[in-house]
Structure 1
């Protein structure tokens, strides 16, 4: 009987370049992506840690998380897609746009979705969109599109 080969070592991936584009009002201090790391377990049950790839102040608030799981395509190329919501609670908004109008508190969730592609040379590209909404997600107050590149190395 042949022994199965051990799984390949995990990959540790580091974000090296980041581009962020805001629509609406930027949210100060949302996160710093450059030099963040994530880990990719390979083998029969591949996984990514953290499952949200990017760790931020939203991570502890994650609700309704879903992902495609790590998919391996032709050789060693891998893809991963994730999405979740993070409730920020009631935030105060001035609906009239005038400073004399009454301010109202409304629930404000952030909807996040992202895609990651790791190529066969262990380089990666990720994109993530975050949308801050009010009124049960019907009005977008601000959105952020982030794209990042980096490289992965085998953890020994």
Structure 2
């Protein structure tokens, strides 16, 4: 006589604890990572706030700024800025313009030619406290008459100054 098929007993379901909320310990690595990221971001922000932008710039960028300031002073007929961006050797040399001469000459040049435009600065080389570059410039009203001038820039008292006579 054949035995009747026996039913397989049901598999017991795993016991789920009553409190199914994940433990805070499972989130601990994410909390630590979040705190580390927050500390790094705060450190970067404090560093940027404490160190001025100029001190974070490379020497190449500072030299370019000095050259730009030189031509900006001429465009604005700002003798104070012009004198400040020239090195001591140029300021003390015979032929350095007096303020009234500088202002008169640059205002006339602006009226006749427009602003000095600098499309590019090339061949920039910094060697310690001395740099050289080729400044490509033209007047606003005569863009077809391009000029290229070799420019020397030196660091005096921690600031880059144009020193081309």
Return the TM-score normalized by structure 2.
Answer: 0.28
- Structure scoring higher RCO (CA < 8 A, sep ≥ 6) equals 1
Larger Rg: 2
Q: Decide which structure has greater helix share.
A: 2
Q: Please report the TM-score for the alignment, with normalisation by the length of structure 1.
A: 0.29
